[in-house]
Structure 1
Amino acid sequence: MTGETKLLPAVLVVEDEPLIRMEAVDMIEDAGFRVYDVGSADAAVVLLERHDDIGILFTDINMPGSMDGLQLATCVKDRWPSVGIVIASGIIDYKEMELPKGASIFPKPYPTDKIAKALSDIVAGIA
């Protein structure tokens, strides 16, 4: 692990499809970030309560549990306002959705270069 990696916030990936989650984790690790990953919004909240090094949430919208990804994003923005939010979705009309302030949304399949830039932009805003 490089010194630069230690300075970056950890990213929490929330995706219920294991193969898609693994792809997202690989993409974000390749961008130089440490990653936690879970399969539901409920598990994400538990992880956020336990790890104060999480600075970015990367979540899908559709998932099982008591919250979907948009509800999770709103919860995170309310409880952890400094956490940056990136949402990825296979929903076609995602541009019509109301997002928490400052959240970014991208279509699936993941546009790797754009997501890496969004993560870097969040870090630049945090620093």
Structure 2
Amino acid sequence: MSERSGMPEVRTDMNAIRKSVILIVDDDALVRVHSNLALEDAGYEVVEATNAADALVKLKERPDIAALFTDVRMPGALNGIDLAHAVHAQRPDIAILVTSGADNGASSALPAAAQFLQKPYTKTQLSQMLQHGQTVRA
């Protein structure tokens, strides 16, 4: 049971969504490139967005998106935590991984289905987190 929602937690089998589509959302182009390369090297197809509004549009355009990887801080009306909640509400089937340079309570503000990855992270850490099913979805 998730302490946050009271709902049972279900571990996402990221190997099952391997070679699936991952939506990366980060306003920092260098971070997007780093993440994109890591995920493509791990066998995923990557779609990029620079902010939450762009991500929500791409999510509607691409029903094949299987996971969201988003930064917390970004320009616009919604931050990464808001985006994680919106995505979870619209598409609870999507695995959610949120990242930031500082936790500052971000990890406890996420939907029960989301996991948090502290920056800086390596390509190996990102790939391992996804490959070992550490992203949880409800």
TM-score range, shorter chain: 0.7 to 0.9
Two-structure CA RMSD over aligned residues (Å): 2.5
**Partner of residue 48, structure 1:** 59
Q: CA deviation at 1:94?
A: 4.4
Secondary structure class of the residue paired with 1:67: coil
Amino acid at match of 1:14: V
TM-score by length of 1: 0.84
Q: Which runs of 5+ in 1 are unaligned?
A: none
Structure with greater helix percent: 1
Task: Select the structure with the greater relative contact order (CA < 8 A; seq sep ≥ 6).
Answer: 2
User: 2:114 touches 2:135 (CA, 8 Å); kept in 1?
Assistant: no
TM-score by length of 2: 0.78
* CA separation of 1:124 and 1:57: change in aligned 2, threshold 3 A: closer
User: 1:11 touches 1:33 (CA, 8 Å); kept in 2?
Assistant: yes
Task: Single out whichever of 37-46 and 108-117 deviates more from structure 2.
Answer: 108-117
Q: How many pairs are equivalent?
A: 122
Q: CA deviation at 1:97?
A: 3.1
User: 1:9 touches 1:34 (CA, 8 Å); kept in 2?
Assistant: yes
Q: What percentage of aligned pairs have identical amino acids? A: 31
Task: Single out whichever of 48-57 and 89-98 deviates more from structure 2.
Answer: 89-98
User: 1:8 touches 1:123 (CA, 8 Å); kept in 2?
Assistant: no
Q: Which runs of 5+ in 2 are unaligned?
A: 1-14
